[in-house]
Chains A and B, each alone.
Chain A
Amino acid sequence: MSSLAETFKDEAMELLQELEESLLALEETPEDQGLIDRVFRALHTLKGSGGLAGFEDVSSFCHEAETVFELVRSGDLKADRELVSLTLAAQDHLKGMVLTEFGADPVDDERTAELVAAFQILLPFAEQQVEKISEQALRQESIQSTYRIRFRPQPNLFRLGVQPQFLLSELAHLGEAIIVAQLDAVPPLDELDPEECWVYWDILLTTAEDKDAIRDVFIFVEDDCGLDIQQIDEGGVLDQPEDYKRLGEILVERGDLPQDELDHFLNQKKLFGEALVEQGHVNRSKVQSALTEQERVQALRRQRQVCDAVDSIRVKSDRLDKLVNLVGEMVTVQARLSQFASNRVDADLLSVAEEVERLTWDLRDQVLTIRMLPISGIFTKFKRLVRDLGAELGKDVMLVTEGGETELDKTVIDSLNDPLVHLIRNCIGHGIELPQVRQALGKPAKGRITLSAKHAGANVALTITDDGAGLDKAQIKAKAVEKGLVGAQAELSDREIYNLIFEPGFSTAQEVSNVSGRGVGMDVVRQAVDSLRGSIEVSSEAGQGTVFAVKLPLTLAIIDGLLIDIASEQYILPLSAVEECVELTQEETIQAHGRNLLNIRDEIVPYVRLRNEFNLPGERPEIEQVVIANLEGFRVGFVVDNVVGEHQTVIKNLGRMYQDADGVSGATILGDGRVALILDLPSLATRVETKENSACR
């Protein structure tokens, strides 16, 4: 496969995603010109690069859709639900067409013809003409200039039958306009003749049209007004960044302030605009207008800078993975160097080691940020999922997303897709009721699923909330008893009942559909979240809805750990779970009468002796340390011999041989080259809990 085709594939996938996003947004706000333009542009670019890369079929297919959207653009056609659905179908089809070249199943030619026909029905005009216009429109769009316009009508404007607001709104149609009305010429009220127009306007217009087009707007009044049009910013080549005009220069250029007065003021130290106003040389609104202009030009240039600069490059993700591995080893070697240096009395060596440490940490942070992607990428996919599934089940559902800019490690995002799809399917399948049912219950007919992401320390908190029926506690428990997951007599808290849905082999689906309830439901979700070292909780209120809260680590490669030691073996505890460390004396142990409970500020905290748990040899020291960890709301202490300190932990997989190792989530290599295990605190706590429970039985 040629590299041109490969490049096209990447580009096409991106464009198709953009297309999908825009279409879904367009469905919500069909009038949004910006969105229509985005759809059009995506189709147009796809057509162009498809032709270039030899994907003639893609190119000609895009052409059909593009032609239709040209009509939408010009306002001759409405972007209604049908059109959006049709275009979404076309988007899927296009994806198939592109992937055919890369070994996917070939697309159905009949389907192609069907879609093309569906688009062509929408065309009332001769197609070729439209095509020309669209090329032209696109070309013009790329060059945008900003004009400063001062429109100062004669006072008799109204008598000529001219409505200035129409002129202004016509101007606004040409592009993005900022209009400042100047009122300084308006006489005091008692002298004011309401049939005269004393107001004049400063307009900043960013448009693809040229000066003549702007002048055309004023064609009927041009002789009866002062009209001054100046181009103040040209699209295309980027100027020097410091090239903004100063406020004074703008005012002089406009003729609002003579040059000598400007010079006079420049010698004063005050904020220029304020000084001018204070002394009555120009009035506030004039300064305001000039300031607007300054800001506008600045903003525009900034924007263009962002677009123009090559702001991203494509890198294969396995290269990144290699980079992360290398940085991981670097961190390990650096730890060794630091340890080595601190054992020697050599100030020079120590300072070099410190320098290396600082650099390595910087490097680590930088490399990890490269792998960070905003979660919005997968959020968009869900919009489509919700739309299609809702339609399939006859439910009216909207998806609201919050915090799409939250960034997560690429690996986390990649493995997050399936569990989230599952959760959302469940929300739509089980949670949201049919529109009639919802209305009968006094809820809005349109169901609502909220997907939100936010940072919480070293974690990202994801919540999936629906406003559906909520979980049925009795039903869940009955099912769990039936499946033998719990005893019929078991007294369970609400939390425990809800969490039963994550047990393997549990599924409350009354009817098996391809949407939800294949019996391999939520336990797969929990497994996936566990494998990301995350956690999932569910809470619910009958009739109000269900909330799934997923907590995930920011990155999988390196964590902050707490290095501890027991019987001269060293272990790492994930620092994110650690709350505090307290001491435990022999005396306290004796006083507790064999119960493993601690009293911390009047709160009873159970603890686990890791020495016993791991069957480690040797006597425990006089004073032990207890690391108090917060495990999803439960505080549990872990007794260790000694807390060594914080440790940058590069996570290494233990491999298949130890895939069943309970209580251990991985390993890391310490500065001295030894391997230390990373402990999985939640699973350790659970294991001890089950052991104690079974011992009591």
Chain B
Amino acid sequence: MNETNAVSSYQYVTFSLSDELFGVEVSRTREILSLTPVTKVPQMPEYLLGVINLRGQVVPVIDMRLKLGLPAGEETEDTCIIVVELQVDGEPMIVGALADAVREVLEIRSDQIEAPPRLGTRLNTEFIQGMGKVNEQFLILLDIDRVFNSDELSLVQDVGQVEEAQAEAGEA
């Protein structure tokens, strides 16, 4: 589905995080929710915001700013949750991604997409599928499976343990 053929086009949902524009494939997005109360799960890394009730299903929500290493942001009335479908270790999973605002759905031809630059994005290039150029504006196309891949999850664990250790040090 995602193979880069000669000239084909893909649709992307674009959203903003801290003045940068990102895109995620339409085929991977399920729906967009306005911000609903999130139940925090204790002792988890900061970017794991908690869980929400999506019509009877419990769905985790991730703060995309923190996940991508951007500074934390304020909640505004534009803040929303993009519900995306992931493949984690070959199993489907539904996750809510918290974004500053959702912009539009864009059609991007494959010849408009460039390989991710090695430098200068402030982001881990591993997460980036490519850079789209639309109306003279750069669009960072995310590989959401990579963003949430299992290596990342184990990295998350380490962070959790570090935090715990710090907490212990504080108490002692």
- A695 vs B167: C-alpha distance in the bound complex, in angstroms? 11
Tell me if B113 is interfacial: C-beta within 8 Å of chain A.
no
- A654 vs B157: C-alpha distance in the bound complex, in angstroms? 16
Q: In the assembled complex, how far is the CB of residue B12 from the closest CB belonging to chain A, in whole angstroms?
A: 24
From A653, A655, A667, name the one whose CB has the most chain B CB atoms within 10 angstroms: A655
List residues of chain B with CB within 8 A of the CB of A660. Answer: 157, 160
List residues of chain B with CB within 8 A of the CB of A615. Answer: 42
Contact pick for B57, options A614, A652, A677, CB 8 Å: A652
Pairwise interchain contact A329-B40, C-beta atoms closer than 8 A: no
Pairwise interchain contact B51-A667, C-beta atoms closer than 8 A: yes
Pairwise interchain contact B60-A691, C-beta atoms closer than 8 A: no
- A595-625 contact mask (Cβ, 8 Å, vs B): 1 or 0: 0000000000000000001111000000000
Q: In the assembled complex, how far is the CB of residue A618 from the closest CB belonging to chain B, in whole angstroms?
A: 14
* A676-B39 CB under 8 A given contacts A654-B58, A657-B153, A667-B51: yes
Q: In the assembled complex, how far is the CB of residue A571 from the closest CB belonging to chain B, in whole angstroms?
A: 9
Pairwise interchain contact A695-B172, C-beta atoms closer than 8 A: yes
List residues of chain B with CB within 8 A of the CB of A344. Answer: none
Pairwise interchain contact A654-B168, C-beta atoms closer than 8 A: no
Pairwise interchain contact A669-B58, C-beta atoms closer than 8 A: yes
* A654-B39 CB under 8 A given contacts A332-B56, A667-B58, A669-B56: no
List residues of chain A with CB within 8 A of the CB of B41. Answer: 654, 658, 661, 664, 677
* A658-B168 CB under 8 A given contacts A669-B53, A674-B37, A677-B41: no
Q: Could you say which interface size class chain B belongs to?
A: 20 to 34
Q: Which residues of chain B (153-172) have a CB below 8 Å from chain A? A: 153, 157, 160, 168, 171-172
Q: In the assembled complex, how far is the CB of residue B64 from the closest CB belonging to chain A, in whole angstroms?
A: 14
Contact pick for A661, options B44, B53, B57, B95, CB 8 Å: B44
- A504-515 contact mask (Cβ, 8 Å, vs B): 1 or 0: 000000000000
Tell me if B99 is interfacial: C-beta within 8 Å of chain A.
no
Tell me if A656 is interfacial: C-beta within 8 Å of chain B.
yes
Tell me if B88 is interfacial: C-beta within 8 Å of chain A.
yes
List residues of chain B with CB within 8 A of the CB of A614. Answer: 42-43
Q: In the assembled complex, how far is the CB of residue A72 from the closest CB belonging to chain B, in whole angstroms?
A: 52
Tell me if B52 is interfacial: C-beta within 8 Å of chain A.
yes
Q: Which residues of chain B (50-108) have a CB below 8 Å from chain A? A: 50-53, 56-60, 62, 88, 91, 93, 95
- A476 vs B96: C-alpha distance in the bound complex, in angstroms? 48
Tell me if A135 is interfacial: C-beta within 8 Å of chain B.
no
Q: In the assembled complex, how far is the CB of residue A614 from the closest CB belonging to chain B, in whole angstroms?
A: 4
- A457 vs B43: C-alpha distance in the bound complex, in angstroms? 32
- A8 vs B14: C-alpha distance in the bound complex, in angstroms? 55
Pairwise interchain contact A661-B153, C-beta atoms closer than 8 A: no
List residues of chain B with CB within 8 A of the CB of A653. Answer: 58
Pairwise interchain contact A695-B53, C-beta atoms closer than 8 A: no
Tell me if B48 is interfacial: C-beta within 8 Å of chain A.
yes
Pairwise interchain contact A655-B39, C-beta atoms closer than 8 A: no
Contact pick for B39, options A569, A656, A691, CB 8 Å: A569
List residues of chain A with CB within 8 A of the CB of B60. Answer: 654-655, 657-658
* A664-B168 CB under 8 A given contacts A652-B57, A654-B60, A673-B53: no
Q: In the assembled complex, how far is the CB of residue B106 from the closest CB belonging to chain A, in whole angstroms?
A: 28
Q: Which residues of chain A (645-659) have a CB below 8 Å from chain B? A: 652-658
Q: In the assembled complex, how far is the CB of residue A397 from the closest CB belonging to chain B, in whole angstroms?
A: 41
Closest residue to B43 on the A side, CB-wise?
Answer: A662
Closest residue to A666 on the B side, CB-wise?
Answer: B58
Q: In the assembled complex, how far is the CB of residue A23 from the closest CB belonging to chain B, in whole angstroms?
A: 42
Closest residue to A332 on the B side, CB-wise?
Answer: B56
Pairwise interchain contact A656-B93, C-beta atoms closer than 8 A: yes
- A563 vs B82: C-alpha distance in the bound complex, in angstroms? 30
List residues of chain A with CB within 8 A of the CB of B91. Answer: 656
Q: Which residues of chain A (639-697) have a CB below 8 Å from chain B? A: 652-658, 660-664, 667, 669, 673-677, 691, 694-695
Q: In the assembled complex, how far is the CB of residue B75 from the closest CB belonging to chain A, in whole angstroms?
A: 16
Q: In the assembled complex, how far is the CB of residue B49 from the closest CB belonging to chain A, in whole angstroms?
A: 11
Q: In the assembled complex, how far is the CB of residue B150 from the closest CB belonging to chain A, in whole angstroms?
A: 9
- A654 vs B172: C-alpha distance in the bound complex, in angstroms? 32
Pairwise interchain contact A652-B58, C-beta atoms closer than 8 A: yes
- A660 vs B160: C-alpha distance in the bound complex, in angstroms? 10
Q: In the assembled complex, how far is the CB of residue A697 from the closest CB belonging to chain B, in whole angstroms?
A: 9
List residues of chain A with CB within 8 A of the CB of B168. Answer: 691, 694-695
List residues of chain A with CB within 8 A of the CB of B53. Answer: 669, 673-675
Pairwise interchain contact A657-B95, C-beta atoms closer than 8 A: yes
Q: In the assembled complex, how far is the CB of residue B94 from the closest CB belonging to chain A, in whole angstroms?
A: 8
List residues of chain B with CB within 8 A of the CB of A661. Answer: 41-44
* A656-B37 CB under 8 A given contacts A661-B44, A691-B168: no
- A101-128 contact mask (Cβ, 8 Å, vs B): 1 or 0: 0000000000000000000000000000
- A472 vs B93: C-alpha distance in the bound complex, in angstroms? 46
Q: Which residues of chain B (113-172) have a CB below 8 Å from chain A? A: 148, 153, 157, 160, 168, 171-172
Pairwise interchain contact A569-B40, C-beta atoms closer than 8 A: yes
Pairwise interchain contact A675-B52, C-beta atoms closer than 8 A: yes
- A321-338 contact mask (Cβ, 8 Å, vs B): 1 or 0: 000000011001000000
List residues of chain B with CB within 8 A of the CB of A657. Answer: 48, 60, 62, 93, 95, 148, 153
Pairwise interchain contact B56-A329, C-beta atoms closer than 8 A: yes
- A669 vs B42: C-alpha distance in the bound complex, in angstroms? 17
Q: In the assembled complex, how far is the CB of residue B85 from the closest CB belonging to chain A, in whole angstroms?
A: 13
Q: In the assembled complex, how far is the CB of residue A76 from the closest CB belonging to chain B, in whole angstroms?
A: 59
Pairwise interchain contact A654-B51, C-beta atoms closer than 8 A: yes
Closest residue to B163 on the A side, CB-wise?
Answer: A615
Pairwise interchain contact B157-A655, C-beta atoms closer than 8 A: no
List residues of chain A with CB within 8 A of the CB of B39. Answer: 569, 667, 674-677
Q: In the assembled complex, how far is the CB of residue A168 from the closest CB belonging to chain B, in whole angstroms?
A: 69
List residues of chain B with CB within 8 A of the CB of A667. Answer: 39, 51, 58
Closest residue to A695 on the B side, CB-wise?
Answer: B172
Pairwise interchain contact A675-B51, C-beta atoms closer than 8 A: yes
List residues of chain B with CB within 8 A of the CB of A332. Answer: 56
- A529 vs B73: C-alpha distance in the bound complex, in angstroms? 42
Pairwise interchain contact B48-A658, C-beta atoms closer than 8 A: yes
Closest residue to B59 on the A side, CB-wise?
Answer: A655
Closest residue to A673 on the B side, CB-wise?
Answer: B53
- A661 vs B93: C-alpha distance in the bound complex, in angstroms? 17
Closest residue to B94 on the A side, CB-wise?
Answer: A655
Q: In the assembled complex, how far is the CB of residue B98 from the closest CB belonging to chain A, in whole angstroms?
A: 14
Closest residue to B57 on the A side, CB-wise?
Answer: A652
- A662 vs B43: C-alpha distance in the bound complex, in angstroms? 7
- A637 vs B25: C-alpha distance in the bound complex, in angstroms? 49
- A695 vs B165: C-alpha distance in the bound complex, in angstroms? 10
Pairwise interchain contact B56-A664, C-beta atoms closer than 8 A: no
List residues of chain A with CB within 8 A of the CB of B50. Answer: 675
Offer 7 A-B interface pairs, CB within 8 angstroms, sorted by A.
A569-B39, A656-B153, A660-B157, A667-B39, A669-B58, A677-B41, A695-B171
Closest 10 CB pairs of A and B: A614-B42, A675-B39, A657-B60, A652-B58, A695-B172, A667-B58, A329-B56, A669-B53, A675-B51, A675-B53
A residues at B contact (CB < 8 Å): 328-329, 332, 569, 613-616, 652-658, 660-664, 667, 669, 673-677, 691, 694-695
Instruction: Add 12 more A-B contacts to A658-B51, A663-B42, A664-B42 (CB < 8 A).
Output: A569-B39, A655-B59, A656-B93, A657-B148, A661-B43, A662-B43, A663-B43, A667-B39, A669-B53, A675-B58, A676-B39, A695-B168
